[in-house]
Chains A and B, each alone.
Chain A
Amino acid sequence: MGLADKGKKFIIFGVFIIMAGFAFNNYFLLLLSLILFFSAVVSLPTFDLSLNIENLEVRRELEKEKLFKDDFLHVKVVIKNNGNKKFDFLEIRDQYDETIFRRVLGEQFIATRINAFSEVRFSYVLAPRVRGEQKLGPLKVIVKDRLGFNAEERIVPNSIQDVLVYPPYEDIRKIEVMGSKRAAGINFGVHRSKQKGIGSDFFGMRHYVVGDEFRKIDWKASARLQQLIVREFETERTISVVILVDSSESMAAGEVENTKFEFAVRAAMLLAKIALERHDNVGVFVFSDEKNCELLRPASTSAGQFFLILDFLARVRPRGKKKIPEAMEFLNKRFSKRSLMFLISDLDTRETAAIEGIKKLRSRGHEVIVISPFSPWFEILGLENMTVTDKAIAEAIAERMMEHIMKIKSGAQRMNVPLISVGPDEMLDTILTEYLHAKKKGKAV
């Protein structure tokens, strides 16, 4: 790097003054220019001689490498001088993408002096704005001479670190509060999810019909009523829940933090948490086209499953074109167990393709519920500055989209598949309600 900005400024001023000195034949100006020139360059060799940047060890220590969106991350930077020479002036700057992280406390840079064999530490606190696999770094080191005339800039090798940002925990926290209310009996009955016919919990009585097992006949009741009465029992059944998240590019439209995809991921995480708490097997399938499909199979309700889902959901990102039938084909080939499937997609594709995709799922006997984020409700950028024409176009687009969804909806209804259009505010509530409703009905048992 050599001369820094200050050094260059001295040289420029020096040149100007020496020119004036020559022009006016004035030694005061000439001497002044000489002083400026030598001030800038005289320490250049000693700076390079003492510059043993290899002896400088700079590393970043993260409090954690996985965290929820909007959680806080304490980032510590340690600078160690392993050499026997001091660094007069050192600037360390930890870089991060400001669209992804926001700094909430402390500062991510320092200007300091570090003596031989000594250490300097500084730290700051970040909060991630966006879910996903995010990069932190690199660390930039600028070594200057005391007066800042000469400088050397380096990027610390391997100083880019990955931070895995889960969807926001706030939604789960709300559910946990609900859970505590439920434990106190406030929401009693909400989680009724049983299969009639087998088990040992008494369900009710009914008239005997041909084909009923004789052992189920309640003889006392039959004698009392002079008719054959059978006792019915019910039991809790574990079902498989697969959450199908559309990860095509159309899902990423809108504000970065509030896209349909982000809401879909949050909804998936929330549903997974609730379903796992109810001892259901939960899997996640993220899809766009046949090349971009990833399946996390439903597994036993071990404690680790939720963290696997979190990891899985944290890493997915929207990419590829939407090809629902191909993606469903992909899923059918790899997973065939009858399940309750939540398809979260904006259905921004041909109506026939969307219906065909649902059909493929139904053909395997899956119970399907389609939750469709209604695109115009999520993509609300720049509405304030709209002209009358723009507003008319927006209205027309919204209506066009509505008609499109309505057509798919009627196709889905023929297959007994509910399709619910949702806005951002009630998307999470709706998916939970639908799940509880399905459980109550004993779907996919």
Chain B
Amino acid sequence: MSRAFTHVLRIVAAGLFIWAFTFFLLGMFYEDVFTWGAMATFFTNLKDLVSSGLYMFFYYAPQGTNVALSGMFGSAAPSIFDTTMIRGINNGLLNGYILQLFSFPAKIVTDAGGNVTGTYYMTNIYDANKYAMASLNVLVKDVYSLVFIILGITAIVNAVLFVARMRGKYSLNTVMSMAGMVIVPLTLMAFQNMLGVFEMSWDVVANLRPVLRPEITQPITEGWEFFTRPMFLAILLIYLFVELSFQAEYSDLVTRPSEEREERLGYQLESLQREGMRVTTTIEKVKEKVKEQKKTGGTQQNRLKQFFSKAGGFSYVKEMVEKRKFERATQSWLEAASDTRRLGSYVQRLTTEDPEARRTLTAKSSAPSAGKMLTSTILNILVRAGAIITLTFIVSQPRFILTSLFTGFGTLNPPLENWAILHSAELATPEAILVLLIPIMCTFPVISLIIKKIKSQRLKELLRQEDLRRKAVEESIFAARPAESASTAVIPPVETEENSKEVQL
């Protein structure tokens, strides 16, 4: 029953993931962020980029060679090393022949808003430079889309792994992948902004379309409105998925052992019973084989005698290697077979003599009841979720919380304009959350430490009292005994070395 509860948790967590992921994609990203065609066009654009690069290489390599040769031998043989010949090669060979071997489709470059800024063709060598830049531009867009696709697939795969294996680490990986989907475009935006500081711009990055909706990029609203924002809902769903996945993992960890042990033990016992019969007959056959082997090889005693008598041709190492081979082949098998047989009868005897043995081997008593699991899980989720959301709200709203504190949550009316901190520019920055985050975060370990300290003091006191009680009891016992017996009891017996070594019967 408790396993059924675990499966329910797993299904609910899976459902939550679907909801959270869909909401995250649709609510936080523009619809066309996933350009599925990017997977196919990526390779085409890559090929075009490499081809145009190669083509340029074929062009510039003879040009460079010509310049070098002209510099060296131009005065000696101007008729050979003049630029006319090389230009002829370029125009004739590259444009007229090699270019025909490549296929260069037109490259359409768009700006960040999706407007077409130019269409590029490769008709001759003089287009190569622009064409290569256009290819790079399109390729970067493909890579950008591919990164999203890969991160999205990683999130889904990890969620599937969680559902299959019930381990919370996969759900954490899912969240990290989702965070990555936000971090990647933000990084590019930040890069573009950084170039802007230096009054520079790189078209390849500048032409990338913005993928994040304002809902995820804009600062959060102050006050209770926070709870109505889509960003909060997305965060809440992601958190609930993680929380539920860890609860499911817990439930799985405490309910699975008894079930699995039962299965494993059942299988092992069945195998022992099945193999036990077969092994008995096979053991006899192997033993016969061993005997025959020994007969043909002679007994070890005889071989040892042979060795000691220095009989010709006897090699110790050869003998040992053969012996080891023989042992490896049969001895380990014999031992395993013998173990199987003995273990079968041992388990049979054990379960007959100790009726509890089967129950303890399967750890049946470790399975918790489904009812208690259900109650405790729901309570735990409610308490944790309540605490975490409240704390997140408090920490993320420093101005709102400080104002509420100063006004006594609306009961007081102090002159707020005098509180410089409330009007400071720093409080409007994201870093302001550290004002509350650090003290609140530290509160938990500190409280935990205090509790530990108090408990350890209490334990020490208990042990001290226990020790006093024990001493009092001992004293009362000794007081009741004759004096000599009490005194002899504390004198350690004198032991001679011989006495200690020799076991007396």
Contacts and interface: CB of A to CB of B under 8 A. Distances in A.
A147 B246 contact: yes
Interface stretch (A186-194, A339-347, A378-386): A378-386
B116 interface: no
B432 to A, nearest CB: 10
Nearest to B315: A395
A121 B339 contact: no
Q: Which one of A20, A35, A308, A406 has the greatest number of beta carbons of chain B within 10 Å?
A: A35
A348 to B, nearest CB: 17
B457 interface: no
B380 to A, nearest CB: 6
B308 A334 contact: no
A380 B324 contact: yes
A240 to B, nearest CB: 14
A383 B324 contact: yes
Interface string A284-317: 0000000001111101000000001000100000
Nearest to B343: A104
Given A32-B235, A37-B437, A106 B308 contact: no
A295 B503 contact: yes
A430 interface: yes
B190 A24 contact: yes
B408 interface: no
B451 interface: yes
Contacts of B239: 35, 39
Interface stretch (B44-52, B90-98, B349-357, B419-427): B349-357
A296 B503 CA distance: 6
Interface in B207-240: 216-220, 231-232, 234-235, 238-239
A146 to B, nearest CB: 5
Contact of A34 (B219, B321, B433, B505): B433
A28 B445 contact: no
Given A28-B28, A32-B179, A398-B316, A105 B301 contact: no
A324 interface: no
Interface stretch (A41-49, A228-236, A269-277, A437-445): A41-49
B502 to A, nearest CB: 5
A124 B350 CA distance: 12
Nearest to B358: A123
B166 interface: no
Contacts of B247: 146-147
B321 A383 contact: yes
A227 B89 CA distance: 139
B392 A34 contact: yes
Q: Is the interface of A mostly helix, strand, loop or mixed?
A: mixed
B316 to A, nearest CB: 4
A113 B315 contact: no
A386 B183 CA distance: 59
B273 to A, nearest CB: 13
Interface residues of B, number: 95
Contact of B368 (A49, A72, A113, A384): A113
B304 A374 contact: yes
Contacts of B100: none
A17 B239 CA distance: 14
Contact of B360 (A43, A121, A423): A121
B433 A30 contact: yes
Interface stretch (B135-143, B148-156, B250-258, B278-286): B250-258
A38 B442 CA distance: 11
A107 to B, nearest CB: 7
A349 interface: no
Contacts of A122: 261, 360-361, 363, 365-366
B183 A41 contact: no
Interface stretch (B56-64, B383-391, B486-494): B383-391
Given A34-B395, A115-B368, 20 more contacts: A2-B445, A13-B176, A28-B28, A29-B186, A31-B392, A32-B175, A34-B437, A35-B239, A39-B242, A44-B448, A74-B357, A86-B376, A89-B254, A147-B250, A148-B168, A148-B249, A391-B317, A423-B304, A426-B299, A426-B301
Smallest CB-CB A-B distances: 3 pairs: A123-B360, A122-B363, A24-B186
Interface of A: 2, 6, 9-10, 13, 17, 20-32, 34-35, 37-39, 41-45, 47-49, 51, 54, 63, 70, 72, 74, 76, 86, 88-89, 104-107, 110-113, 115, 119-125, 127, 146-148, 293-297, 299, 308, 312, 334, 374, 376-377, 380, 383-384, 386, 391, 394-395, 398-399, 402, 405-406, 421-426, 430
16 contacts: A6-B168, A22-B430, A27-B219, A27-B220, A28-B234, A29-B186, A30-B430, A31-B232, A32-B179, A35-B242, A38-B392, A86-B376, A112-B368, A391-B317, A423-B300, A425-B299
